[in-house]
């Protein structure tokens, strides 16, 4: 491809200096109408486009945030991403989205990302020291995960109260045999499981009816199948998230169990998706838009050295939303 057209080429073509071209292009005053038109014509003629690098170098504005998510097709991350995009748009910032797909790509993705963004927010599976290594000092906001180094900032998700609500709701409806479809990460049971266990214990109920699901609709279906195989007496089940819950709904249907009569299902996340399925999903809902927005806001503060959002405000709490499945 041919050498790029620079402001000098335009200047030469229009017979003016390059400062004058700059004036014409940026709508500064102090320029003769005719000259301006001549310059604009020349620019168009040559197909001139200002270099964003050169421009960015001198006008030190323009903020770009890297949003790292494991899977855009997972509706939870889609919602968070939408929230982040909206918050960024309101500020005139740009968001580069990186889908790490399988987590093996995370390291190389980060390496690429770091070169083009001012700050990074999102979901990472790497440990903090590895992260720190790849991030070369860029401000970073971790979502849904505690940080232990002052190096990072994070948005916490607290589902304790919401899950307690959910268990209370089920108990009030007479359920005593309540299970959970957890999503076991590398570190064993999830916090959501712990919240579940805590709530169950409060009610004097056993919390050992637990299955593990892969994070997908099919994963949820399979897991419910398996759990019900082990514990046929189960009448209600909480799930790690809505995607898994939708799978559970599907499996229940195949097994001939009517939801919520034969089996109550409570999801987690409160996604739009839950309103689409039948029966509509009861779920411990998170304000996904707010999660994305908080991450952007905090990244901005980190970036500009503004006072950070205090811990309390960096927390998003789950709230039980009762629909039809429980």
Partner DNA sequence: TTGAAAGCGCTACCAT
Partner DNA sequence: ATGGTAGCGCTTTCAA
Which residues of the chain form contacts with its own copies (CB under 8 A)?
1-2, 4, 44, 47-49, 51-57, 60, 62, 64, 72-73, 75, 78-79, 81-82, 85-86, 89, 92, 94-99, 101, 105, 109, 112-113, 115-117, 136-138, 217, 246, 249-250, 253, 272-273, 275-278, 303-305
**Which residues are CB-neighbours of 264 under 8 A, at least 6 positions away?**
170, 173, 175, 235, 236, 237, 282, 325, 326
Question: Which of DNA, its own copies, none does residue 7 bind to, with CB < 5 to 8 Å depending on kind?
Answer: DNA
Question: Which of DNA, its own copies, none does residue 23 bind to, with CB < 5 to 8 Å depending on kind?
Answer: DNA
| Closer residue to its own copies in complex, CB, 81/197 | 81
In this chain, which of 44, 47, 50, 316 binds DNA, going by CB under 7 A?
50
Question: Which of DNA, its own copies, none does residue 16 bind to, with CB < 5 to 8 Å depending on kind?
Answer: DNA
Size of the site for DNA (CB under 7 A): 35
| Closer residue to DNA in complex, CB, 1/187 | 1
Instruction: From residue 110, give the alpha-carbon distance in Å to each of 67, 106, 136, 150, 250.
Output: 10, 6, 10, 20, 37
316 conformational bin, left if phi > 0, alpha if psi -120 to 50, beta if neither: beta
- Residue 158 belongs to what H/E stretch? strand 153-158
CB 207 within 8 A of CB 238: no
Residue 71, both tokens: 């899977």
For the segment 74-103, give every residue that binds DNA (CB under 7 A).
none
If 0-12 CB within 10 Å is exposed, 13-18 middle and 19+ buried, where does residue 132 land?
middle
Q: Is residue 6 near DNA by the rule CB under 7 A?
A: yes
If 0-12 CB within 10 Å is exposed, 13-18 middle and 19+ buried, where does residue 304 land?
exposed
Q: How many CB atoms lie within 10 A of CB 185?
A: 12
Question: Which of its own copies, DNA, none does residue 40 bind to, with CB < 5 to 8 Å depending on kind?
Answer: none
Q: Is residue 63 near DNA by the rule CB under 7 A?
A: no
Which residues here bind DNA, judged by CB under 7 A?
3-4, 6-8, 15-23, 25-26, 28-32, 34-36, 48-51, 53-55, 57-60
């Amino acid at each position: 491809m041919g050498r790029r057209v620079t402001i000098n080429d335009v200047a030469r073509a229009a017979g003016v200096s390059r400062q004058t071209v700059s004036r014409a292009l940026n709508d500064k005053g102090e320029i003769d109408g005719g000259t301006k038109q001549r310059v604009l014509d020349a620019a168009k003629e040559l197909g001139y486009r200002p270099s964003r690098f050169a421009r960015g170098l001198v006008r030190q504005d323009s903020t770009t945030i890297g949003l790292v998510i494991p899977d855009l097709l997972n509706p939870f991350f889609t919602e968070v991403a939408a929230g982040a995009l909206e918050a960024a748009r309101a500020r005139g910032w740009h968001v580069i989205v990186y889908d790490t797909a399988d987590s093996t790509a995370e390291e190389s993705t980060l390496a690429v990302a770091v070169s083009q963004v001012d700050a990074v927010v999102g979901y990472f599976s790497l440990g903090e020291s590895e992260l720190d290594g790849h991030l070369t000092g860029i401000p970073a906001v971790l979502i849904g995960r505690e940080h232990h180094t002052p190096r990072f900032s994070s948005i916490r998700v607290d589902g304790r109260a919401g899950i307690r609500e959910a268990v209370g709701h089920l108990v009030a409806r007479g359920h005593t045999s309540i299970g959970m479809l957890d999503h076991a990460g590398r570190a064993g049971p999830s916090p959501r499981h712990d919240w579940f266990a805590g709530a169950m214990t409060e009610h004097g109920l056993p919390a050992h009816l637990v299955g593990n699901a892969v994070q997908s609709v099919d994963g949820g279906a399979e897991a419910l199948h398996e759990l019900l195989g082990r514990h046929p007496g189960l009448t209600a089940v909480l799930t790690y998230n809505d995607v898994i819950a939708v799978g559970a709904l599907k499996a229940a249907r195949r097994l001939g169990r009517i939801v919520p009569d034969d089996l109550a299902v409570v999801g987690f996340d409160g996604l739009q998706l839950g309103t689409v399925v039948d029966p509509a999903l009861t779920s411990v809902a998170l304000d996904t838009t707010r999660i994305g927005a908080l991450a952007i806001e905090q990244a901005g503060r980190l970036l500009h050295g503004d006072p950070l959002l205090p811990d309390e405000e960096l927390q998003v709490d789950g709230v039980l939303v009762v629909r039809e499945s429980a």
